[in-house]
């Protein structure tokens, strides 16, 4: 179990694998965090949809890491088992900008030391800034499966080095280039 102090004011967070009784909190963080990024259709606004998503989609195929403080889940990262793919990274909004996302990402990088890939919606500027700081680079673009919104494929390689860095802005694509392909896999580009 890893411990960190994310800032002098912030509580000590612990990073560990999710417990069964935390599934509801993870689902709510996932749902409300998604709502911060884009509106949800009525079916997907239902909290039960997200709980089932955690139970049937994330838990069986991912290492589900939670950041916990005072017995409360502050955020989670879902790392696809046996793949260098970060499927989801969400932090409770009230805990944003305290280093919780960075801590979860660092734990994912520790578990996948060679490199990591992920997808992010192109309009999600906060997340893009966050990942660029952590040395992720844009390596592809396309459309998300669920929302059919432009999304970007990001990659970090250990060769790129650890730590925080500014990289070039990827900009927002107007249309996907013809060479765009997405690997067929169990990934869920929902962000
Ligand atoms: C993107 C996301 C995971 C970042 O989580 P976070 O916990 O806020 O991340 P951090 O606190 O580590 O870093 C974010 C910002 O806080 C700043 N920060 C980090 N630690 C800090 C501290 N101790 N004091 C002040 N600021 C700090 C960082 O510099 C960064 O600044 P920036 O937004 O200007 O780039 C979070 O905003 C989120 O859940 N968003 C909604 C879901 C989402 O978009 N997920 C990613 C989809 S791929």
Predicted local confidence at residue 46, as pLDDT: 86
Give the chain's mean pLDDT.
83
Contacts by residues 105-108 (CB-CB < 8 Å, ≥ 24 positions apart): 105/77, 105/134, 107/2, 107/15, 107/65, 107/77, 108/65, 108/77, 108/79
Residues within 6 Å of ligand 1 by CB: 6-7, 33, 36-37, 89-91, 96-102, 118, 120, 124, 126-127, 129-130, 133, 191
Nearest protein CA to atom 7 of ligand 1, as residue: 101
DSSP result, 7-33: SSSSPEEEEEEPPGGGHHHHHHHHHHH
CA 51, 54, 60, 64 dihedral sign is negative
Within 10 angstroms of residue 30's Cβ, the number of other Cβ atoms is 21
Mean pLDDT calculated for residue range 98-108: 96
Nearest protein CA to atom 19 of ligand 1, as residue: 99
Choose between 153 and 148: higher pLDDT: 153
Per the structure block, which two tokens stand in for 180? Answer: 């765009």
Nearest protein CA to atom 29 of ligand 1, as residue: 97
Q: What distance in Å separates the CA atoms of residue 147 and residue 144, rounded to the nearest whole number?
A: 6
Percent of the chain residues topping a pLDDT of 90? 66
Predicted local confidence at residue 81, as pLDDT: 97
For residue 187, what pLDDT band results from cuts at 50, 70 and 90?
Answer: low
| Residue-level length of the chain | 191
| Ligand 1 center from residue 7 Cα (angstroms) | 13
Could you tell me which of 119, 88, 92 has the C-alpha nearest to residue 105?
A: 88
pLDDT of residue 62 exceeding 50, the answer is yes
Domains in the chain, CATH or no CATH each: 2-113 (3.40.630.30)
| Ligand 1 center from residue 39 Cα (angstroms) | 20
Q: Where are the alpha helices (DSSP H) in 67-165?
A: 100-111, 125-133
| Ligand 1 center from residue 123 Cα (angstroms) | 16
Is the separation of the CB atoms in 65 and 17 below 8 Å? Answer: yes
| Ligand 1 center from residue 179 Cα (angstroms) | 31
- In terms of average pLDDT, the best of 10-19, 55-64, 137-146 is 55-64
| Ligand 1 center from residue 127 Cα (angstroms) | 7
- pLDDT tens readout for residues 138-150: 999 999 887 888 9
For residue 2, what pLDDT band results from cuts at 50, 70 and 90?
Answer: low
**DSSP structure class, residue 54:** I
pLDDT of residue 54 exceeding 80, the answer is yes
Q: What distance in Å separates the CA atoms of residue 33 and residue 6, rounded to the nearest whole number?
A: 20
Is the separation of the CB atoms in 124 and 167 below 8 Å? Answer: no
């Amino acid at each position: 179990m890893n411990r960190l102090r994310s800032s002098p004011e912030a509580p000590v967070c612990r990073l560990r694998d999710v417990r069964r009784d935390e599934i509801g909190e993870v689902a709510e963080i996932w749902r409300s965090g998604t709502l911060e990024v884009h509106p949800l259709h009525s079916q997907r606004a239902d909290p039960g949809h997200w709980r089932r998503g955690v139970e049937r989609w994330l838990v069986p195929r991912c290492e589900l890491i939670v950041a916990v403080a005072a017995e409360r889940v502050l955020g989670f990262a879902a790392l696809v088992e046996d793949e260098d793919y970060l499927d989801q990274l969400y932090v409770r909004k009230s805990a944003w900008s305290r280093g919780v996302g960075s801590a979860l990402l660092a734990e994912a990088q520790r578990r996948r030391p060679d490199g990591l890939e992920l997808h992010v919606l192109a309009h999600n500027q906060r997340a893009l800034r966050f990942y660029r700081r952590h040395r992720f680079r844009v390596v592809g673009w396309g459309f998300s499966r669920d929302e059919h919104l432009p999304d970007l494929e990001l990659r970090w390689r250990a060769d790129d080095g650890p730590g925080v860095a500014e990289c070039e802005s990827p900009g927002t694509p107007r249309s996907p280039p013809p060479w765009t392909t997405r690997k067929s896999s169990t990934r869920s580009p929902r962000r």
